[in-house]
Structure 1
Amino acid sequence: MVNIAVVTGASSGIGAATARRLVREGFHVVAAARRADRLQTLVDEIEAATAVECDVTDDASVAGLASVVAGLDGPLTLLVNNAGGAFGLDPVATGSVDDWQRMYDVNVLGTLRVTQALLPALEASGNGTIVTVGSTAAFVVYEGGGGYSAAKHAQNALMGTLRLEIVGKPVRVVEIDPGMVRTDEFSLKRFGGDRSRADAIYDGVKEPLVADDIADCIAFAATRPHHVNIDRLVVRPIAQAAQHKVYREK
């Protein structure tokens, strides 16, 4: 039997790159996301995969994902909580409550729903791993990033607490926390589709990280011997010394 991996937010960016990489590592990947058309294109490409339309902010949708996983032939040994996002870059004084709500719903409660739904199967496999894609925003605040940073701080607290609560069970809890990653949609979504503002984030940065870099980190953590737990892996491009310190070529 082939081990099964679930990847949320798999329709683009880090999620799609992770799905491709995990297939090469020998997993059958359940690619979950809201955009069914993109998912189907992905699974047609990588073949050893199952597409599941899933909204992590909806209880019934997540239950449907768990049902599909339960019907597959093989143990669920890996969950990659990748679904997330940032919306807006407004200061706290004028920030949109709706944007903050969306960020909390997808980054925190979405991670909670999927983890709760799949944890029993991960434990039953005897060889389970949960990898959650966070952010360096989980540790450092910055102007305009209050909502996203708050959500990522909460997601970090969720995973840290889970690690304490399930110690002794055969499930590892891993956090991958990227800094500046240039993907096709992250910044574009943050700025409501404004391409010029999205591109400006990376102006002068010679080599920001890309989705494949994070997929590589996820695969590394997930394929260590099971007694090895990478609690947290913080990864930034060499041009980013800290959240607020980025070298830009003129």
Structure 2
Amino acid sequence: MSGSLQVSIEGRTARITLDRPQTHNAFDDKLIGELTAELDRLARDSSLRALVLTGAGASFSAGANANWMKRMAAASEAENKADSERLAALMRALNFFPTPTIARVNGAAIGGGVGLVACCDIAIAVDTAKFALSEVKLGLVPAVISPYVIAAIGARQARRLFVSAEVIDAHEALRIDLVHRVVAADKLDEAVARELDLLAKGAPNAQREAKQLALRMAGATPEHAALIDENNAALIARLRIGAEGQAGLSAFLDKQTPPWLKQE
């Protein structure tokens, strides 16, 4: 496999592991492209009954990679929009993946990592996991992942976390419906296996239709999502090249205080 992912098939279950533990499985364009391609490939395998997504090491995914953010901070608005559209395509591929999906949340999920959790049908987290939508601390917003996070936790909770960037623990994530179960680390695989056992008892075509039914009744279709994604990609591109976004990204990358926190 690549340096970004480990992919395996066990029976009729596919397992994708984000495999960059040294960077806490943070995103960059390479990981986004590989994960999107792998989801597209697996979506065509009609023998699969489930997909498990997890991370290697201590974290599920820490969101954007610092080097990737540095490159995009220096890129044009058009380049940033194209980059954001690729991330949007990844989230869309996971959200509308045909078979049931399980997020095995083995550790922290930050920014885009929260988006991955929200896109999965079932999310099980270790009790030590932390979650945050920290974009406003950088002068940005969680634009691309917003439809999926709002679908998971509702607009009211999303408004709170979008503007506060509060770090929440696994039990708060459970309370607001970001995850469905919280377990001790040594029970995580057992909890995932239980969900897979439940899924194995359902009729595969009926499960595929049931998943799409739930999405459709909530107003979510791939076509509608693509239109929203285009607008959100344009928004994040505009903010990345704007004065506040540039200042926030520079402060983060240089480990400095952003201007809005400095004393007058």
Give the TM-score category using the shorter length.
0.3 to 0.5
TM-score relative to the length of structure 1 = 0.32
Structure richer in helix, relative to its length: 2
